[in-house]
């Protein structure tokens, strides 16, 4: 039986899998954040007790797939986020591996699109995808296929425009003759 939290879309090329080490990274990252903040120290015991439950649910909610036309992403336990980014809108996929991520064997993909709402921000960030470099290349290759097809259709449009020029000239002549008769 299919998982209802993970939608299946037509023309799916690949579904990204997330590395289970992401759970450890998230647990310790949140723990350290709570330790260094004043309010966090109060919340730390609750995190230590319930954090793993939350992280497991969050990890199970992660879903990312590449289709022939878009990149789909879903995450969230209490507040769910679902994004669909058309491939032809993707400007870049930035691959990052800092020292902490590398220690956990993880990487980070930042998806940037044309017309981003926040300057310098990412439309989507994906942490912990298994074989993120390969996934990045597949997304960029599929994007190039989509944009190449769109670019190849322009000669057909130009030929239609060239066929319209004689018609427009004829209409222009007709309007000129009507204007002369009116005067």
Q: Are residues 93 and 167 in the same domain?
A: no
Residue 47 CB neighbour total at 10 angstroms: 18
Q: Are residues 131 and 177 in the same domain?
A: no
Q: Are residues 50 and 20 in the same domain?
A: yes
CATH of residue 52: 2.30.29.30
Residue 107 has a pLDDT of 92
Residue 46 has a pLDDT of 93
Strand partners for 90: 113
Q: Are residues 180 and 148 in the same domain?
A: no
Residue 49 located in a structural domain: yes
Q: Are residues 24 and 54 in the same domain?
A: yes
Please classify residue 58 by burial: count the beta carbons closer than 10 Å to its beta carbon, then call 0-12 exposed, 13-18 middle and 19+ buried: middle
- Provide the residue-wise pLDDT of the chain in tens; the chain has 183 residues: 444 444 544 587 889 999 999 999 999 999 999 999 988 899 999 999 999 999 999 999 999 999 988 999 999 999 998 988 898 888 888 889 889 899 999 998 998 887 655 555 556 788 999 999 999 999 999 888 888 766 555 555 555 556 778 877 888 888 888 888 887
Residue 4 has a pLDDT of 47
Alpha-carbon distances of 80 from 9, 122, 179, rounded to whole Å: 18, 18, 64
Q: What pTM, to 2 d.p., does this model score?
A: 0.68
Q: Are residues 129 and 175 in the same domain?
A: no
């Amino acid at each position: 039986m299919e998982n209802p939290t993970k939608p299946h879309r037509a023309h799916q090329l690949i579904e990204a899998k997330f590395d289970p080490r992401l759970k450890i990274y998230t647990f310790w990252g949140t723990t350290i954040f709570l330790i260094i903040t004043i309010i966090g120290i109060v919340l730390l015991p609750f995190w230590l007790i319930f954090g793993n439950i939350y992280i497991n649910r969050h990890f199970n909610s992660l879903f990312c797939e590449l289709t022939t036309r878009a990149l789909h992403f879903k995450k969230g336990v209490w507040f769910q986020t679902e994004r669909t980014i058309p491939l032809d809108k993707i400007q870049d996929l930035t691959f990052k591996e800092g020292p902490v991520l590398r220690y956990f064997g993880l990487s980070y993909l930042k998806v940037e699109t044309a017309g981003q709402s926040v300057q310098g921000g990412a439309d989507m960030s994906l942490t912990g995808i298994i074989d993120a470099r390969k996934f990045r290349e597949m997304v960029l290759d599929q994007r190039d296929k989509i944009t190449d097809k769109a670019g190849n259709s322009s000669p057909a449009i130009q030929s239609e425009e060239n066929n319209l020029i004689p018609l427009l000239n004829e209409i222009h002549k007709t309007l000129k003759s009507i204007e002369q008769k009116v005067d």
